[in-house]
């Protein structure tokens, strides 16, 4: 066993990976926001091939390139992504503030489905924390896109005259990318906004003067915005739809029938 002392070099501004630390092996892993990529062909991780023993076939197997006939599919390597899947990103020296529970839904692994079961739709949970915008104002934007398809929501938000719309749009696009990269969603347009809500974040307090030596409190609100995208076409009615003619008529009839006519027996 060799013991060594190593200074934290300038290039390696790293945090030791707490998952692996222990008496047997202390490994310095530099965090670069590496994401879980659902990309078995990633050459960076050679061990992706370990899980695909069907990699190198012998004489008997004949594998034709996937989608070689039509040009739409491709075996292109996934380009590096700039979004980190870790939530509540902070500088290396900062304590991570804000909610952490929402992205944990992305770690849930469902058991393999049987042949009878209907194909389970993929979902992805994403959030942006501590947006400098009032949560009460953000509520309008969050409610607006509920039940829309991702494309429609992004299109609409581009023309909503609110500061929060920009943040929501950014979050939606990030979530879309994460869904395609990590959660095995085939079509990036085949997503709809299943859940969209906002909560209050950090409140920074300032002061202002009033007349006659009076002081007033100024609150600078931040909000967290959460979104869950689900795979599939958007539902026809996300909210309870207003009843149509026949339904209303039937209700009216039922009311009349259940009425009590006093004096008649």
Partner 1 sequence: MIAFREVVRKNSLLLTKSNSYLFNSLGYVAPNAAFIGQDYKIQVRFGSTKHWNPKWKPFRRLKVIKVDLPDFNEAAESKNYSPDEVRAKMKERGMSPPRPWMERPFEISSTSDIFEPYVPPEGDGKASYISKEGAKQSAEMVSKKSKTWLAFRKIRNFDEDFEGKHFAAEAQKIYLNVHKAVSEKDKNTLRVLVTEKAYPEVTLNMRSRTIVWNFLDTIEEPRVVHARCTDVIQKENVFAQITCRFFTKQSLAIYDRFGRLAHGSEVVAKDVLEYVVFEKHLANQYGEWRVHGKIIPEWAPTNFETSYRTFRMSN
The answer to the question of residue 105 lying near partner 1 (CB under 8 A) is: no
User: What part of residues 39-68 is at the interface with partner 1 (CB under 8 A)?
Assistant: 40-41, 43, 45-61, 63-68
- Residues in the interface with partner 1 (CB under 8 A) total 102
Count Cβ atoms below 10 Å from residue 160 Cβ, excluding itself.
16
Residue 107 in 3-state DSSP? helix
- HSE value, Cβ hemisphere, 13 Å, CA-based, for 257: 6
Among 18, 25, 237, 260, binds partner 1 (CB under 8 A): 25
User: What part of residues 217-236 is at the interface with partner 1 (CB under 8 A)?
Assistant: 218, 220, 222
The answer to the question of residue 69 lying near partner 1 (CB under 8 A) is: no
Count Cβ atoms below 10 Å from residue 145 Cβ, excluding itself.
23
Tokens 């409610």 belong to 143
Dist CA 131 CA 221 (whole Å): 9
Among 24, 116, 244, 255, binds partner 1 (CB under 8 A): 24
Stretch that binds partner 1, among 111-119, 137-145, 151-159, 240-248 (CB under 8 A): 111-119
The least CB distance from residue 101 to partner 1, in Å, is 17
User: What part of residues 172-211 is at the interface with partner 1 (CB under 8 A)?
Assistant: 180, 182-184, 186-188, 201-202, 204, 206-210
What are the CA-CA distances from residue 197 to residues 128, 145, 188, 203, 204 (Å)? 11, 10, 22, 18, 22
The answer to the question of residue 159 lying near partner 1 (CB under 8 A) is: no
Q: Given the complex with partner 1, which of 121 and 243 has the nearer CB atom? A: 121
Q: Given the complex with partner 1, which of 34 and 160 has the nearer CB atom? A: 34
Among 34, 154, 160, 173, binds partner 1 (CB under 8 A): 34
The answer to the question of residue 118 lying near partner 1 (CB under 8 A) is: no
Tell me the chain's radius of gyration from C-alpha atoms.
Answer: 27
Task: State which H helix or E strand residue 172 sits in.
Answer: helix 163-182
Q: Which residues, 6+ apart, have CB-to-CB distance to 125 below 8 Å? A: 102, 103, 105, 106, 175, 226, 227, 228
Instruction: State how far Cα 191 lies from the chain centre.
Output: 11
The answer to the question of residue 255 lying near partner 1 (CB under 8 A) is: no
Stretch that binds partner 1, among 88-96, 147-155, 232-240, 251-259 (CB under 8 A): 88-96
The answer to the question of residue 75 lying near partner 1 (CB under 8 A) is: yes
Dist CA 132 CA 52 (whole Å): 46
Q: Given the complex with partner 1, which of 207 and 261 has the nearer CB atom? A: 207
The least CB distance from residue 236 to partner 1, in Å, is 23
């Amino acid at each position: 066993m060799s013991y060594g002392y190593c200074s934290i070099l300038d290039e390696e501004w790293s945090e030791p990976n707490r998952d692996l630390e222990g008496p047997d092996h202390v490994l310095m892993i530099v965090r670069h926001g590496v994401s879980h990529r659902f990309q078995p062909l990633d050459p960076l991780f050679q061990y992706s091939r370990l899980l695909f023993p069907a990699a190198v076939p012998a004489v008997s197997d004949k594998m034709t390139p996937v989608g070689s006939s039509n040009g739409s599919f491709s075996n292109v390597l996934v380009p590096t992504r700039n979004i980190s899947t870790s939530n509540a990103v902070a500088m290396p020296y900062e304590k991570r503030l804000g909610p952490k529970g929402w992205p944990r839904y992305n770690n849930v692994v469902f058991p393999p489905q049987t042949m009878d079961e209907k194909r389970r739709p993929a979902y992805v949970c994403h959030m942006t924390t501590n947006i400098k915008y009032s949560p009460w104002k953000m509520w309008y934007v969050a409610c607006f896109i509920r039940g829309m398809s991702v494309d429609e929501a992004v299109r609409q938000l581009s023309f909503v005259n609110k500061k929060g719309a920009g943040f929501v749009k950014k979050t939606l696009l990030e979530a879309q990318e994460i869904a395609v990269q990590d959660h095995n969603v085939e079509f990036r347009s085949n997503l709809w906004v299943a859940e969209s809500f906002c909560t209050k974040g950090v409140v920074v307090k300032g002061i202002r003067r009033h007349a006659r030596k009076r002081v007033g409190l100024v609150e600078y609100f931040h909000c967290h915005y959460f979104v869950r995208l689900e795979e599939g076409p958007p539902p026809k009615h996300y909210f309870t739809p207003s009843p149509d003619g026949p339904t209303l008529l039937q209700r009216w009839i039922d009311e009349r029938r259940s009425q009590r006519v006093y004096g008649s027996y």
